[in-house]
Each structure stands twice: as C-alpha cells, then as structure tokens.
Amino acid sequence: MANFCNLKEQRISEVTLPYSMDPGAKSVMIGLWGFLDFDGNELHLLSTPYVNVKKGGITGYLKRVRLYELSSYHTGTWEIDAVTQGGSTWDTLTVHVSAPKDQWGGDSSQWTQEKKLASLDAALRPKVARILDILRDAGFQPKVFFGWRSVKVQLQLFNRGVTKVKFSFHNAQKPNGTPNAYAADIVDSRWGWGDAAQANGFWDALGDAAHSQGLVWGGDWTTFKDVAHVQSKQNSELAAVKRESGL
Amino acid sequence: MRLASLLLAACSLPAAAQQHWLVIAGSSHSAVEAIKLTAKLRALEPSASVVMSSDCENLRLGLYLSAAAVTADRAIAQAALEKAKTIAHDSYLRECKARPASLIALNIPAIDPSIEKVPGDAVNWTDEDRTSTVAKLPSGYLWLRRTYVAAPEDPQEGRRTAVLFFAAKPADARQLTEDCSDSGHAQNGTRLALSCARESAGDNLFHEITVYDTSTARPLLEIKHCRKPNLPTPNQLACQSEEVDAQGILHLRPKQLEIPNR
C-alpha cells in the first residue's frame, strides 16, 4: 500500500500550498511512499485541474518515495488521489490553497490593464472594454488609469487633501473585500489630463462613448467635473453601494 | 504729546473680548449630535444655535455646543435656561469670552440651517463640511458659509461652500462664489485672489483662481488650473500652474499674470 508523505517520509493527509501569484510563492514538494503496486506498476496521481502536479525523482530509504511538486493558482481545498492502474485509490491527500496575500494591494494606478479591468464590477467590465475599443477605433490611445482602489488608499488620499471623498464608486467591493468597482478613470496614454486631451477631443469622445454604453460621465457634472471618470451607478446610489460593500 | 502716546498705546492693545451668555443644553465632539439637539431646542427657542467652544477664550476647545440662547443679557439667558431644562434637564449657563474675529464675535451662525436637512446616510459629509468658518484678512474678512443643497445626483452630495467678503460687518457681505472647496487666498489692497478646487484629475485636484475687486465683488481675472495664489502687487497675480500627466503625476510651474483694470 502507498501513502503520501513529507520529505522526512512521515505520513501526511493534508498539505497547504501558497497562492502561486503571491510574490515569492514557491511550489511544495511532497512524496508518495510505496509508489508501486503489487505488480510493480507505478501509481499515478489523480488531481483536480486546480492543483498543478509535477512528477519528480525517486528518493528515500530503499528508494521507495516518488517526489511530486505541487502548486496552485486556485484558492480552496482540493483532493489528490494516489491511484493504481486498475483504478483503486490507495491514499488521498487534502490540499489547501491559501488565499492570495494582498492580491489587490499596492498602487492600483500601476496595475496592468487586465488587473484594472478585473477589479471592476462584472456588468461594468464589458462596457469599459467597449469604450476602450471605441476610442481606439477613433485613433486615441486610451487606458484605464483607475479601476478599483481600496478604502484604505482612499482615506490616505483624503487625508492628503487630494480628494474630496472618503468613499466613491471606485471603492466598491464585495462583502469579502474582493474589488467590485462601479467606476473607472480613462485617459489617453499620451496626454493624461494635459491640455492636449481637450484640444484633441479626447474628453468629448470619452463622454460620447460612455453615454453609448449607458454610463454616467463625470464630464457632465457641473458642480465638480471629473472628465476621466465613468460610472455605472447614479450618484444617488452611493450610500446603498457603501452598505452593499459591507462598509 | 503724552496724551497722544497714551492714545496710541490704547489703540495697540487687543480689543477686550466680547462677553456672551450661553444657555448650553448639550455639548458634543460631533457636529451631527449637536445639530440634532439644537433642532429640538428650536421648538422652544427659535434662536437656538450651535456654537463652537473654540470661539470662546475661556472654554475647552473642540466642542460643538447646542445653545438654546446666546445673549449678552444674563436675565434673558436665565429665562431661556428654564425653558431649555424642559428639553435637556441638565442645561446650564456659561459665560463665553468671544475670541476676536470668531464666528460668535461676528454673530455668524456656525451651522447653517440647511445643514439640518443633510440625509442621515450621506457618505462623504464631515463635520468640517457642516461648519462655517471665517478668516481675518489684512483688510476685511472671508466668510466660508457651508450649506446643503438638496440635489440627489450631485457628485458632492449637496455640499456647498459659498465664499463671501465683508469689510467689517457680515450684514454687508458680498458673495464672491457660490461654491469653493479646498480654498486658498491672497490679498493686496482691494484685490483678492481666491483659488477653488473645480475638477478631479486622478489623485489630484485642479483649481481655478479668480481675482476680485473687493470694493465691488467684481471678478477681474479668472485662470484655470492654477493654485497657491499670490498678489505681489495689486496688478499682478502669481500662482502655480497645474498639469497632470498620464501617470497621474502633478506638475506645478510658476506662472505670473497681469491683472486687468476693468
């Protein structure tokens, strides 16, 4: 019979993997003690697609341990079975994959475009993607400057006096803290908020594209303009969104 | 000669603090709590108001006082106290030695009545947004009157800061602008430069500067995307022009303009 083990050949029934996208995350090495069946055929590991399993060398006393390297990008609890060629399960290993460490931390203006889009509410995301397409087709070089940003960062900006709000649609999140922004700031990567953006018609084009997607455009506001800003909620919904965010 | 010296010396002494009697029904570190209690008091005393304790030289700083009455007459205060006790039984009378140029000294309400209508679930209102302030200038005063405007789709949730100028009496105040956040100012003679945040640009604010003739409240010059106004002469405005690049970085550059004589 076989059993999963650590590198000291001690039997284990579960193992915890770091989230592979975390900075410095390493794969975890485990062993399968007694990896051959009664006929001398090697057992194989039956795993969910959420855990990457890479076969390693043979080690241990009497060379009875097959090494495997495990890693995962999928938070949760999964199982790996050691199975004979005939389909019998000889041992099961429970694999816990940790939650990402501060996956959504840092300066969100420096995130990749993909990550910024991923931080938007699911209904807003395709609309913003469409706006970017429309603007590109018109010869602009649009980019999302901000999708989501944390309330913590927002408060830092508020305390520095560079924003007038402590909570905005950029800060919306799911109750578990996952980003769920209802707003995005879009600029042309050549001009930012410089005079050339206005002179070349970028803000007007952004406003038209936002309207075509049924979004609110901050350039329409008369009391306090925010020309790069689009949002999928009405301003009157801010208190409800804050409650929905669990804040 | 000796008399003239005495007169000069007297003129240079700080003005004696005005004395007021406050009928205090409650005090709070929160403007919202003070406003709620003051609204209840108003049913009995229509002149009930919120007073900032920091306006009184002899009181602890940082409290919002719900005052059933503010009066120079102790007898009137005593009568108001009896009424206030029917709402807040531990109401009490306290003397306030008003700081010069404070709201109470100038008889300017700290909290505009419109602020009582701010919705309870407003997200971005702070106590500072609810409280009017006054700034003493080399010549005259700037009154930042903070109010609430019911406008459900307003990105500022109805927050407004009107800026008014008056030479000596608030009753003579002239409104310079109906809304001005993150304000800055400079004065030289009858010229007053006022900067107000007007737009967001990523993590930054864009400002607009208007130069006024304070004798008429007439705007003489407006310039967008400039902050930190200075008036080196009555006919020159210096400020820092603002530009925010595609990385969201703010670039400030000195700018100087002639102010036209209109």
pLDDT of the residue at B7: 39
User: In this model, does residue A83 exceed pLDDT 60?
Assistant: yes
pLDDT of the residue at B3: 40
Please report which residue ranges of A15-118 form alpha helices under DSSP H.
113-118
Q: Which of A116, A156, A157, A164 to mutate: most B Cβ within 10 Å? A: A164
pLDDT of the residue at B222: 97
Q: Which of A154-163, A173-182, B172-181 has the highest mean pLDDT?
A: B172-181
Which residue is closest to B128 within chain A, CA to CA?
Answer: A164
CA distance B51 to chain A (A): 25
Percent with pLDDT over 70 in chain A: 100
A187 touches chain B (CB under 8 A): yes
Q: Helix or strand or coil: residue A86?
A: coil
Q: Please state the length of chain B.
A: 262
pLDDT in tens, A85-132: 888 999 999 999 887 777 787 788 889 999 999 999 999 999 999 999
Q: Which of A144, A160, A162 to mutate: most B Cβ within 10 Å? A: A162
Average pLDDT value for residue range A213-232 = 97
A143 touches chain B (CB under 8 A): yes
Is B9 exposed, middle or buried, given 0-12, 13-18 or 19+ CB atoms closer than 10 A?
exposed
**Six-digit token string for A4:** 């999963």
Q: Which of A51-55, A59-63, A176-180 has the highest mean pLDDT?
A: A51-55
Q: Are A226 and A219 in contact (CB under 8 A)?
A: yes
Each of the 262 residues of chain B gets a pLDDT tens digit; together they read 344 443 333 333 445 568 999 999 999 999 999 999 999 999 888 999 999 999 999 999 999 999 999 999 999 999 999 999 999 999 999 999 999 999 999 999 999 999 999 999 999 999 999 999 999 999 999 999 999 999 999 999 999 999 999 999 999 999 999 999 999 999 999 999 999 999 999 989 999 999 999 999 999 999 999 999 999 999 999 999 999 999 999 999 999 999 997 6
Residues of B contacting chain A (CB within 8 angstroms): 119, 121-124, 126, 152-157, 179, 181-182, 197-206, 243-248
Percent with pLDDT over 90 in chain A: 71
Task: Return the closest-CA partner of residue A121 out of A228, A218, A233.
Answer: A233
Q: Which positions in chain B touch A223 (Cβ < 8 Å)? A: 154-156, 179
The continuous run of DSSP H or E covering B28 comes out as strand B18-28
pLDDT of the residue at A61: 80
pLDDT band at residue A23 using 50, 70 and 90 as cut-offs? confident
Residue type, A219: G
pLDDT band at residue A75 using 50, 70 and 90 as cut-offs? confident
Helix, strand, coil percent values for chain A (each to nearest 5): 25, 30, 40
Q: Which of B125, B203, B251, B252 to mutate: most A Cβ within 10 Å? A: B203
DSSP-assigned letter for residue B106: H
> Mean of the per-residue pLDDT values for chain A?
92
A191 touches chain B (CB under 8 A): yes
> Could A190 and B246 be called an inter-chain contact, meaning their C-beta atoms sit closer than 8 Å?
yes
As a whole number of angstroms, the distance between CA B216 and CA B219 comes to: 9
As a whole number of angstroms, the distance between CA B115 and CA B50 comes to: 11
pLDDT of the residue at B16: 56
> Could B200 and A226 be called an inter-chain contact, meaning their C-beta atoms sit closer than 8 Å?
yes
Average pLDDT value for residue range A131-144 = 98
Is A57 exposed, middle or buried, given 0-12, 13-18 or 19+ CB atoms closer than 10 A?
exposed
Q: Are B96 and B21 in contact (CB under 8 A)?
A: yes
A141 touches chain B (CB under 8 A): no
Q: Are A230 and A216 in contact (CB under 8 A)?
A: yes
> Could A224 and B198 be called an inter-chain contact, meaning their C-beta atoms sit closer than 8 Å?
yes
| B262 or A161, which is more confident | A161
Q: Which positions in chain A touch B243 (Cβ < 8 Å)? A: 193-195
Query: Of the candidates B154, B198, B204, which has its C-beta nearest A225's C-beta?
Result: B198
> Could B197 and A164 be called an inter-chain contact, meaning their C-beta atoms sit closer than 8 Å?
yes
CA distance B14 to chain A (A): 35
